[in-house]
Structure 1
């Protein structure tokens, strides 16, 4: 119960700290790969990026956090994420795709916090209304 409440409060905090006016766009919006193929997803921001989080939502609805990075490159197995703060983009490269890579990929970009009474860092997540909406990529891997 406590764990679920903590997660709910965390989501609520993110919602309260949502910033309007900054845009995050992700491409491509949909992708179908043959097993073993590689692809790169790109997340562009309208303002300088100070941190990026890449996540994958599995077909059953479960969310997996893949990377959280402020600069440079991180690699985990077949996944590689980069962020270029000055150029305002991040990439997620998936090499040798497998069926378990299928899902919806999401990126969220963090921006510098404003000076003043605001207590929340500014985080702009890409909208998640439809599969083709910017900020998410629906990827299917078939054999």
Structure 2
């Protein structure tokens, strides 16, 4: 049940961003890595945002919430995310990537 709420909240956040007219641009659009390499994904926003949520889309199309961050930096063993509202960007850093990290990553902002 908890996972379903995460998906619903994520979709709601994406809809709020669209309604507010915040343009979200992710980069790089495609990233190839060797196993064990580090990588950083970026999201740039056309307006100041109050929070950012990063998702991983699994092969079945479901969204898995990775991190929700309102300001500063949030870190766990493998992932680190930063949001800078003033500069209007967020990053997701993946440490020592593994085969299971191969996926589509999405960011949503509110």
Common fold by TM > 0.5: yes
Q: TM-score range by the shorter chain?
A: 0.7 to 0.9
Please state which structure has a larger fraction of its residues in helix: 2
Question: Please, which runs of 5 or more residues in structure 2 have no aligned partner?
Answer: none
TM-score normalised over the length of structure 1: 0.65
Cα distance in 1 for residues equivalent to 2:60 and 2:21: 32
Q: Deviation of residue 16 (structure 1)?
A: 6.2
Spell out, residue by residue over 1:19-52, the C-alpha distance to the aligned partner (whole angstroms, 9 max, x if none): 1532000000111111001110000000001100
Give aligned pairs, total: 103
Cα distance in 1 for residues equivalent to 2:63 and 2:22: 24
RMSD over equivalenced CA pairs, Å: 2.1
Please state which structure has a larger fraction of its residues in strand: 1
Q: Deviation of residue 60 (structure 1)?
A: 3.0
Taking structure 1 as reference, are residues 93 and 16 closer, same or farther at Cα in structure 2, changes over 3 Å only? closer
Structure 1 segments of 4+ aligned residues over 3 angstroms from their partners? 15-18
Match of 1:54 in 2: 54
Which is higher, the Rg of structure 1 or of structure 2? 1
TM-score normalised over the length of structure 2: 0.83
Contact (CA 8 Å) 1:59, 1:102: kept in 2 or not? no
Contact (CA 8 Å) 1:58, 1:102: kept in 2 or not? no
